[in-house]
Amino acid sequence: MEKLELKYLQCLAELYPSIAKASTEIINLQSILNLPKATEHFLTDIHGEYEAFSHVLKNGSGAVRRKINEVFGHTLDEREKKSLATLIYYPKEKMEVVKKSRENMEDWYMITLYRLIEVCKRVASKYTRSKVRKALPEDFAYVIEELITEKPDLVDKEAYYDEIVHTIIEIGRAEVFIIALSELIQRLVVDHLHILGDIYDRGPGPQHIMDKLTSYHSLDIQWGNHDILWMGAAVGQRSCIATVIRICARYGNLDILEDGYGINLLPLATFALATYKNDPCECFKIKGTDVYNPAETELNMKMHKAISIIQFKLEGQLLTRHKEYKMSDRRLLDKIDYEAGTMELDGKTYALIDKNFPTIDPKKPFELTEEETAIMERLVTAFTDCEKLQQHMMLLLNKGGLYKTFNGNLLYHGCVPLNDDGSLMTVEIYGKKYKGKALYDVLDTYVRKAFFALNPVEREKGKDILWYIWSGPGSPLFGKSKMATLERYFLKEPETHKEVKNAYYGMLENDTVVNSILQEFGLDPEHGHIINGHVPVHHMSGESPVKCSGKLLVIDGGFSKAYQKETGIAGYTLIFNSFGLILAAHEPFTSAENAIAQETDIVSDSILVKRVAKRMVVGDTDNGKALKERIDELKQLLDAYRSGLIKEK
Ligand SMILES: O=P(O)(O)OC[C@H]1O[C@](O)(COP(=O)(O)O)[C@@H](O)[C@@H]1O
Ligand SMILES: [Mn+2]
């Protein structure tokens, strides 16, 4: 035996110090391998829509309903099943409604508790006892375990359970118990959550989404370009800060910064009011203005313009620093003729809709004024010192990455940049060339350098690359030729607004390309899938999220309210359970209140994308592979005990 191997076994012997202990562990692990594969849940492009996100987490994209159907089949009618589902999603609120319409709550508690216990048994049956135990709420751990565990040798089972349930009702604990059971079902119905990016921007509640994710039992995150933008802002990258504020202003969400993260925007507000005093800032209208009164709207529009100009200046400076990004065509403020009010773009001259640029010196268009500099300095401190924001970013870093391979599938937000012929596109990052997986990997390391590198040069490179990942043409998260922000504000010609998508998006049905991407990431194209977010699927015009005969799934259906006009629905989510892949289409979510009152469940349609021939078990998963390796090691440890190489303790 190699020296290292022996050392490793000795370490293992610390954990399993006897033949008996090692054997027990082998038996335990072996039994886990034969349990059904746990359920994975995939969500993407949540874009700050906290309520819709929270609802989809509660209903497990239809998984709770499926369990109810499995348990109650034809013994409950549709209406009763719907009510039970709503109760599981919103136990507290639903009980308030029930109480108003019923005289005798005792009966209701009794029936409801029995029903919930049955569902609980079902959802717990996929897991080991020890895993279920860890998920149990502290106060009720013992009693729930009693109720959901089969007791074959008990003579009068019913009387035993009745007694427990009666006591719960009698001592006035029925409601809290119902809440505990409902939450347990929500918790057990999904074992692992994948978020494929774009938690931030456009919607009002990304900070609440991040809070919820912080306490979620098991998850990973693939960063979206908008999340990367916020990460850039959090490390003090100034173009990212300006863009974050601009997008918040554009969608009427400055509250996220001020109230959600406690970032003081007063300096910017004061500056904007003074600088654009007599400017109506028409090009800087707020999307969904109903949240503001007229005075607020006016202030918001001025702030929107002020920060946009700062953003365009800072981007110009950044692209002068980084010629290697090959984005000098995005330095636009020097393409403007400030006297004539026109702009040169691709050899054509366009008239600007807004010609008022009081803060721009045409000779030095990218230079910030003294006031702008001071504002940015304060903002950098506000972002980098914000504890809550930093905590949220740590969650993104610890649970997240640019991509993930999981149980044979490849998960990423945007794309793998390709050339027109489908080959991998080479992108130069700080003097070296990368493509495919290597490109993803090098960018991932630079993201982490932005937060953790001690070397200031590397740290700065990391910070600036965050901006590149947000909007660079070679960025796998963006995957478009340019971000035409300035053109959309200042030019009316639609051709100037066009952002050309990377060749990848034209090849989603190309088997050879999709297979080669899976192989590039070390996955088996026979069984693997690519799960993709970022690009809204236009449900209304008949577009399907299922590409390449189900090998590639684009599940961005637009949680984002701003995009529902285009997509026609509120998005797709995906479930991967022991039977296969199920895609759920969602109807727009109006409000939690509505969901309770109408008992509506926004899952409108479930499409079985793939049904596995044989029900998958833990042994077929990545975790199963790791468990099998562990079993092998433990068997070697047993040999070592038995051959006298290692002594039992
Ligand atoms: O919806 P808005 O604010 O006009 O922003 C559009 C911008 O958002 C982007 O679509 C990027 O955001 P997504 O990652 O959500 O697609 C850009 O391509 C585009 O310039
Ligand atoms: Mn995106």
Q: Compare 320 and 106 and report the one with higher pLDDT.
A: 320
Contact criterion met (CB below 8 Å) for 36 and 543: no
Predicted local confidence at residue 572, as pLDDT = 87
Predicted local confidence at residue 80, as pLDDT = 93
Residue 634, pLDDT > 70, answer: yes
Predicted local confidence at residue 544, as pLDDT = 87
> Could you tell me the pLDDT band of residue 327, with boundaries at 50, 70 and 90?
very high
Nearest atom, ligand 1, residue 480 CA: 18
In tens, the pLDDT along 573-610 reads 999 999 999 998 887 777 888 888 888 776 667 788 87
Predicted local confidence at residue 286, as pLDDT = 93
Predicted local confidence at residue 310, as pLDDT = 98
Atom 5 of ligand 1: nearest residue by CA position: 485
Q: Decide: 483 in ligand 1 pocket, CB within 6 A.
A: yes
DSSP string for 320-387: HH-GGG--GGG--GGGEETTTTEEEETTEEEE-S----TT-BTTBTTPPPHHHHHHHHHHHHHHHH-H
Nearest atom, ligand 1, residue 499 CA: 18
Q: Decide: 225 in ligand 1 pocket, CB within 6 A.
A: yes
Atom 18 of ligand 1: nearest residue by CA position: 483
In tens, the pLDDT along 527-539 reads 999 999 998 888 7
Q: Compare 106 and 428 and report the one with higher pLDDT.
A: 428
CA 496 to centroid of ligand 1, rounded, Å: 15
Ligand 1 pocket test, pick from 480, 486, 496, 532 with the greatest ligand atom count within 8 Å of Cβ, gives 480
Residue 17, pLDDT > 90, answer: yes
Atom 3 of ligand 1: nearest residue by CA position: 247
Contact criterion met (CB below 8 Å) for 406 and 523: no
Nearest atom, ligand 1, residue 45 CA: 15
Predicted local confidence at residue 291, as pLDDT = 65
CA 573 to chain centre: 11
Predicted local confidence at residue 160, as pLDDT = 82
In tens, the pLDDT along 32-54 reads 999 999 999 999 999 999 998 99
Nearest listed ligand to the Cα of residue 253: 1
Q: Decide: 534 in ligand 1 pocket, CB within 6 A.
A: yes
- What residues pair up with 606 in beta bridges, in sequence order? 584
Q: Compare 310 and 612 and report the one with higher pLDDT.
A: 310
Residue 24, pLDDT > 90, answer: yes
Predicted local confidence at residue 289, as pLDDT = 59
CA 48 to centroid of ligand 1, rounded, Å: 14
Q: Decide: 198 in ligand 1 pocket, CB within 6 A.
A: yes
Nearest atom, ligand 1, residue 225 CA: 14
Whole-structure pTM value: 0.94
Nearest listed ligand to the Cα of residue 284: 1
* CA distances (Å), origin 547, targets 194, 243, 505, 563: 20, 33, 11, 21
Predicted local confidence at residue 568, as pLDDT = 63
Nearest atom, ligand 1, residue 536 CA: 16
Atom 16 of ligand 1: nearest residue by CA position: 534
CA 54 to centroid of ligand 1, rounded, Å: 23
* Rounded Cα–Cα distance for residues 70 and 282 (Å): 56
For the segment 305-330, the average pLDDT, to the nearest whole number, is 97
Residue 370, pLDDT > 80, answer: yes
Q: Decide: 499 in ligand 1 pocket, CB within 6 A.
A: yes
Give 419-480 as a 3 state SS string. CCCCCECCEEECCEEECHHHHHHHHHHHHHHHHHCCCHHHHHHHHHHHHHHHHCCCCCCCCE
- When the pLDDT of each residue in the chain is averaged and rounded to a whole number, the result is 93
Residue with tokens 């918001």: 300
Residue 119, pLDDT > 80, answer: yes
Predicted local confidence at residue 627, as pLDDT = 97
Contact criterion met (CB below 8 Å) for 162 and 377: no
CA 532 to centroid of ligand 2, rounded, Å: 10
Residue with tokens 């990942």: 469
Predicted local confidence at residue 607, as pLDDT = 81
Residue 285, pLDDT > 70, answer: yes
Can you give the C-alpha Rg of the chain in angstroms?
28
In tens, the pLDDT along 444-456 reads 999 999 999 999 9
Residue 154, pLDDT > 90, answer: no
Burial 214-227 (b: 16+ CB within 10 A, else e): eeeeebbbbbbbbb
Residue 152, pLDDT > 80, answer: no
Count of residues in the chain: 649
Predicted local confidence at residue 506, as pLDDT = 96
For the segment 141-159, the average pLDDT, to the nearest whole number, is 82
DSSP string for 170-202: HTT-HHHHHHHHHHHHHHHH-SEEEE-S--SSS
Predicted local confidence at residue 253, as pLDDT = 94
Predicted local confidence at residue 602, as pLDDT = 66
Predicted local confidence at residue 185, as pLDDT = 96
Residue 332, pLDDT > 80, answer: yes
Residue 557, pLDDT > 90, answer: no
> Could you tell me the pLDDT band of residue 164, with boundaries at 50, 70 and 90?
confident
* Rounded Cα–Cα distance for residues 139 and 270 (Å): 52
Predicted local confidence at residue 601, as pLDDT = 72
Q: Decide: 302 in ligand 1 pocket, CB within 6 A.
A: no
Nearest atom, ligand 1, residue 560 CA: 15
CA 535 to centroid of ligand 2, rounded, Å: 7
Ligand 1 pocket test, pick from 200, 475, 485, 556 with the greatest ligand atom count within 8 Å of Cβ, gives 485
CA 245 to centroid of ligand 2, rounded, Å: 17
Residue with tokens 């020296």: 3
227: left (phi over 0), alpha (psi -120 to 50) or beta: alpha
Residue 637, pLDDT > 90, answer: yes
* Poorest-pLDDT segment among 98-102, 388-392, 450-454, 522-526: 98-102
For the segment 519-546, the average pLDDT, to the nearest whole number, is 90
Predicted local confidence at residue 626, as pLDDT = 97
* Rounded Cα–Cα distance for residues 565 and 558 (Å): 9
Predicted local confidence at residue 288, as pLDDT = 74
Nearest listed ligand to the Cα of residue 248: 1
